[in-house]
Amino acid sequence: MASAITSIIERQNDIVNSSPSPLHLPKFTTYTICNLRGGIGKTSLSFNLSYEAGNCLAVDTCPQGNLSYFYDNLYFQNNTTTVKDLILPYMLPGLGRASRVAKRVSASNAFFSTKNTYYIASTSDLYTLPSQMSTAINQAKSISGAQQVTALDSMLYSLKNEILREMAETKTEKCVIDTSPFFSGATHLAWHATDALIVPVRTDQQSINSLNLLLNTLSNPSSEFRREMPSDGHSPKIQLVVLTHCAWSTAGGARNVPNQQTKVYVEKVRDIVNRNIQHFTTDDPDNHVLLLDDFLGSGRISSALSKPISVLEAGESMRINRVRTTVNASVEKIKSELKYISSSIW
């Protein structure tokens, strides 16, 4: 095993055996789950972390609306006020401001019955937000002096201001923001609404490339993010990189050691974190890399039932697309990993 990742691998074994040491991380209120690629586990992580948090406002800024659907399977049929309704009045003066938009998840998803969890729904109309934002920002730039600064700050902090208001109204203490695979529009606003980023990275080269793209977007002066900044220059740091879809060695006595393919990506991710440590919330790269199993049957059943993984039981099964799918014993390992991630950030 490469020495650089020894502590990361040993920590994963401790997590499974319920004896992990805490990560030395600052604790924040609001996290944005982000990577500039689809299919890597952003929504699954957002959904499960909102359950683990218990007292949480979840904000869906992805126009696909999958997180909203997990909270309410009738979301696509409901005519509801959405996250775009909160943002648009900042772009188009004259529109009325919405309030009390967040909905209690337990009203539509019984698995959250013991949780004080609320969500703000997404909408496919978010696909048009980037062009509306661009027009509004260009108009603000045509104003001179302090009014320009005020107008730009108002737009770039629109989502943050609305989230803070909704958290006060719902008496929630934590917030998780799910994002789309592209940066423009609501993802840009989510970066300014957040205390820190959590970046899921799948065990493949395309996800490694998207992690590098995200870091470049954070730092490159020519990126859309750096070109459109609020007056205080706010730029979020990264709390965690969560390597998803990990697979483990089947060798006897392997003690939860990643298989060779997963190990390669752990090494790559740690190296990227180490070389870009200025973008992270501490100066120790080992604090910022955690591994999450491939959800397999557990993930498919969780998605099909809109059921958090923490309430799945080994042996649970159902037919999905005519194929019998079963939760296997590895779900207990996944539960431990999710609880550790949650305890490390809140």
The H-assigned helical ranges of 92-243 are 129-141, 146-156, 158-170, 186-193, 205-219, 224-227
- Can you name the residues that pair with 289 across neighbouring β-strands? 241
pLDDT digits (tens, 9 = 90+) for 126-158: 999 999 999 999 999 999 889 999 999 999 999
Indicate the pLDDT class of residue 323, thresholds 50, 70 and 90.
confident
Torsion of CA 137, 141, 143, 148, to 10 degrees: 80
Choose between 218 and 246: higher pLDDT: 218
d(CA 314, CA 112): 20
The β-bridge relationship of strands 323-326 and 317-320 is: antiparallel
- At residue 255, the pLDDT reads 64
With 90 as the cut, is the pLDDT of residue 296 above it?
Answer: no
With 90 as the cut, is the pLDDT of residue 26 above it?
Answer: yes
Gyration radius (Cα) of the chain, Å: 20
Domain boundary assignment for the chain: 1-28+197-294, 29-194
Q: Could you tell me which CATH number the domain at 29-194 has?
A: 3.40.50.300
Is-contact 92 85, C-beta < 8 A? no
d(CA 165, CA 159): 10
**Any residues with CB less than 8 A from the CB of 320 and at least 6 apart, and which?**
300, 301, 304
**Any residues with CB less than 8 A from the CB of 185 and at least 6 apart, and which?**
126, 129, 130, 133
With vertex at residue 70, the alpha carbon angle to CA 316 and CA 294, rounded to the nearest 5 degrees, is 55
- Work out the number of other CB atoms within 10 angstroms of the CB of residue 317: 12
Burial grade of 281 (CB within 10 A; 0-12, 13-18, 19 or more): buried
Choose between 79 and 206: higher pLDDT: 206
